[in-house]
């Protein structure tokens, strides 16, 4: 495949290739045709000039009516939407396909159940065009189908991807990075450190995560800046099936497993072994304290340490057996789409 000629940017600055678009927005979906219409409408309605950006929808191995629904959307918004298919199931695989198919100097991501504010893309692109900036993201506000249950206390809202660092721009560091539903990267970030690692991220029904954290960590280790941009607002649907204690137990388990994978990739087995023992001691200590207080305590507090620790331990074993430290190496970025 022929590639566009590349004009190399100054170090840490977004490239400006002749004829390239200013930005690409990538939306990945797996059987999400019933949700994505509002997402697309919010992207078409951005206050950026239409000729400066494209919308790339990645159909990630959908098995329902999603392909036909995407065709209808692309016909409704002719010339604004491109649909590509990624047959390998997994969010990281889908995002990588979107990156390689895209033509913009800045690549922004959102989900198929989110609505972007009108100045979302402009705010992210302007941040990513600054020297030294490798990633930018903004607030993720909850779009609720029903009121939050009383047992869901504020410390656990981040597990629903709710993210708000306030009204001022903030520089972020590990492990408080932008959420995947609201993030953007100048193309040179992928040239520098590679694509998303396919050892991380959602695959089917699993809640494996940390794909954005792992990528941003690589960028931060290179001395690049990662910004929280308050004007780049996204409203993210919080579906009712996630507002159950069982879902949060699963989420804690998979977060622990994701963190074990991350630590095996970046810190090694000795670090992971020590962390397993720390989590086990913390879980036992919390259980003993609850008995001494003769009180059950908040619902999610009772499950957080035990399920996170269980997930971390299982991730440590499974990740070691499957050599995640090798599998976690990202593919190199091969270049801009023609």
pLDDT in tens, 188-203: 999 999 999 999 999 9
What confidence tens digit (pLDDT) does each residue in 236-261 have? 999 999 999 999 999 999 999 999 99
- Alpha carbon distance 102, 22 (integer Å): 11
Q: What percent of the chain has pLDDT over 90?
A: 85
- Indicate the pLDDT class of residue 19, thresholds 50, 70 and 90: low
Burial (CB count within 10 angstroms: exposed 0-12, middle 13-18, buried 19+), residue 334: middle
Homologous superfamily of 21-242: Spore Coat Polysaccharide Biosynthesis Protein SpsA; Chain A (3.90.550.10)
- Indicate the pLDDT class of residue 293, thresholds 50, 70 and 90: low
Is residue 183 within 8 Å of residue 109, measured between CB atoms?
Answer: yes
DSSP 181-204: TSEEEEHHHHHHH-S--TTSS-BT
**Cβ within 8 Å of residue 58, ≥6 positions away:** 26, 27, 28, 29, 84, 85, 86, 94, 95, 97, 98, 101
- Alpha carbon distance 46, 152 (integer Å): 33
Give the mean pLDDT of 278-288. Answer: 85
Ranges of each domain in the chain: 21-242, 245-326
111's enclosing H/E stretch is strand 104-111
Residue 4 has pLDDT above 60, yes or no: no
**Cβ within 8 Å of residue 160, ≥6 positions away:** 142, 236, 238, 242
- Alpha carbon distance 156, 161 (integer Å): 10
Is residue 161 within 8 Å of residue 140, measured between CB atoms?
Answer: yes
- Alpha carbon distance 39, 181 (integer Å): 11
Helices (H), 77-145: 91-101, 120-128
Q: What percent of the chain has pLDDT over 70?
A: 92
């Amino acid at each position: 495949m022929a590639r566009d000629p590349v004009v190399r940017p100054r170090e840490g600055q977004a490239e400006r290739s002749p004829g390239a678009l200013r930005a690409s927005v990538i939306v990945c979906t797996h059987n999400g045709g019933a949700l994505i219409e509002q997402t697309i409408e919010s992207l078409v309605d951005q206050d950026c000039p239409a000729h400066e950006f494209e919308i790339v929808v990645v159909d990630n191995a959908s098995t329902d009516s999603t392909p036909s629904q995407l065709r209808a959307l692309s016909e409704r918004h002719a010339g604004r939407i491109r649909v590509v298919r990624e047959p390998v199931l997994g969010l990281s695989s889908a995002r990588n396909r979107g990156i390689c198919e895209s033509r913009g100097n800045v690549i922004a991501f959102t989900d198929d159940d989110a609505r972007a504010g009108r100045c979302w893309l402009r705010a992210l692109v302007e941040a990513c065009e600054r020297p030294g900036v490798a990633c930018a993201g903004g607030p993720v506000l909850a779009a609720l189908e029903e009121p939050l249950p009383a047992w869901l206390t504020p410390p656990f809202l981040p597990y629903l991807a709710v993210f708000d660092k306030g009204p001022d721009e903030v520089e972020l560091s590990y492990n408080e990075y932008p959420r995947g539903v609201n993030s953007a990267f100048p193309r040179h970030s992928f040239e520098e450190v590679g694509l998303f690692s396919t050892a991380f991220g959602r695959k089917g029904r699993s809640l494996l995560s940390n794909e954005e954290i792992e990528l941003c960590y690589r960028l931060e280790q290179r001395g690049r800046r990662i910004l929280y941009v308050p004007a780049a607002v996204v409203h993210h649907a919080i579906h009712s099936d996630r507002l159950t204690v069982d879902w949060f137990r699963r989420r804690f388990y998979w977060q622990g497993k994701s963190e074990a994978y991350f630590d095996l990739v970046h810190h090694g087995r000795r670090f992971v072994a020590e962390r397993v023992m720390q989590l086990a001691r913390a879980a036992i200590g919390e259980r003993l304290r609850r008995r001494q207080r003769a009180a059950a305590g908040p619902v999610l507090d009772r499950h957080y340490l035990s399920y996170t620790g269980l997930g971390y331990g299982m991730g440590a074993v499974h990740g070691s057996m499957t050599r995640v430290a090798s599998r976690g190496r990202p593919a190199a970025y091969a270049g801009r789409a023609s």
